[in-house]
Structure 1
């Protein structure tokens, strides 16, 4: 049986949730409760619907224009097992993977040392937007982020170099 995730919804073609044309999956469930959250309907862990990660990948494959998948939320790391498997499957199909998380990169790295599901999701993410949304730091001109405290991180380069690599 393939992996199942609880999602709030999907956007089959997005031009604003990462580079190129993206397939966006919104995780259902989030503990962060950021004031001014853009997706408050995704907070309830019992909301949304259950879907198969294989079904999501099959949906993606039907659109030859897609450049990648964006895992948003909600909080994808709260369902790291399923979202990690979906990220792995997407990478195996040649898609770029971008993940949004309210957790900081450093905390995700620490948790990944003892949690293989978090590690799988992190290692199959090309670009991570980390940090909670902070309404007082909101900036509509930021690329792929909502507030100035959030960072656009090249995960592979950061791990390979042992130091944080921030993208513009």
Structure 2
């Protein structure tokens, strides 16, 4: 099964453990206000690639990934192309490559039995899922992304049921996702899961503005300042407090 691919990156350092070969897939239903890859939204875009070709590109620099690295698929939304993901990760596991999915969880649907069967297969081939939870509050999540978060939160529970290691990512945007009540609530939610292995709290930056300009698109967060990194530890502490409360 071919995949629609936006781009490949040989030396990713923020896409999972170690140095990673990163596959950016095409297609995403989310419309996050701070998305810095809006050119990945269109599912009909990108370049068709065979899983075998991607593995060949990985193997060209395989020595760099040997010390705790591996293959990460991000996007776009990888789970929009689940058949391709199964084929790609099947080849990866045949070569003992560490596999990671960087996902928003938006494609998960617990009522879609054919999809669940495919996801069950994919999870047996997946070492780590980096789940990006944009906002814990349903209404504020919809305002931020134009999508609900109900199935995203259910996807976190699904990963726990399947015993797939999970890293949670959360971008802190001034005035939008930095409220400490909601950060605590996020921590309280994820604190129930045994498979939670890491928490990445990321500062919002404004580097996406120029890309939107070049694409002739409106940047919804124009004027919102970058997150003060000095305040980021306090924001992360609010999430950790929620985790501790859930586990106490």
> Which category describes the TM-score, using the shorter chain as reference length?
0.7 to 0.9
CA drift at 1:113:
5.1
* Structure 2: runs of 5+ lacking an equivalent: 142-151, 165-192, 199-248
Q: What is the aligned partner in structure 1 of residue 120 from structure 2? A: 119
CA drift at 1:130:
1.9
- The answer on whether the counterparts of 2:5 and 2:24 sit within 8 Å (CA) in structure 1 is yes
- The answer on whether the counterparts of 1:113 and 1:119 sit within 8 Å (CA) in structure 2 is no
Rounded Cα–Cα distance in structure 2 between residues aligned with 1:25 and 1:98:
10
CA drift at 1:114:
3.3
Q: What is the aligned partner in structure 1 of residue 101 from structure 2? A: 99
Q: What is the aligned partner in structure 2 of residue 166 from structure 1? A: 196
Closer, same or farther in 2 for the Cα pair 1:98/1:77, shift >3 Å?
A: same
Q: What is the aligned partner in structure 2 of residue 73 from structure 1? A: 75
Greater gyration radius: 2
* Structure with the larger helix share: 2
* Structure 1: runs of 5+ lacking an equivalent: 138-148
Alignment of 1:133-148 (within 5 A): 133-134=134-135
CA drift at 1:132:
4.5
* TM-score of the aligned structures, taking structure 1 as reference length: 0.74
- The answer on whether the counterparts of 1:71 and 1:100 sit within 8 Å (CA) in structure 2 is yes
* TM-score of the aligned structures, taking structure 2 as reference length: 0.52
- The answer on whether the counterparts of 2:16 and 2:130 sit within 8 Å (CA) in structure 1 is no
Rounded Cα–Cα distance in structure 1 between residues aligned with 2:194 and 2:113:
17
- The answer on whether the counterparts of 2:163 and 2:195 sit within 8 Å (CA) in structure 1 is no
Rounded Cα–Cα distance in structure 2 between residues aligned with 1:119 and 1:45:
23
Q: How many residues align?
A: 148
Rounded Cα–Cα distance in structure 2 between residues aligned with 1:89 and 1:14:
20
CA drift at 1:123:
2.4
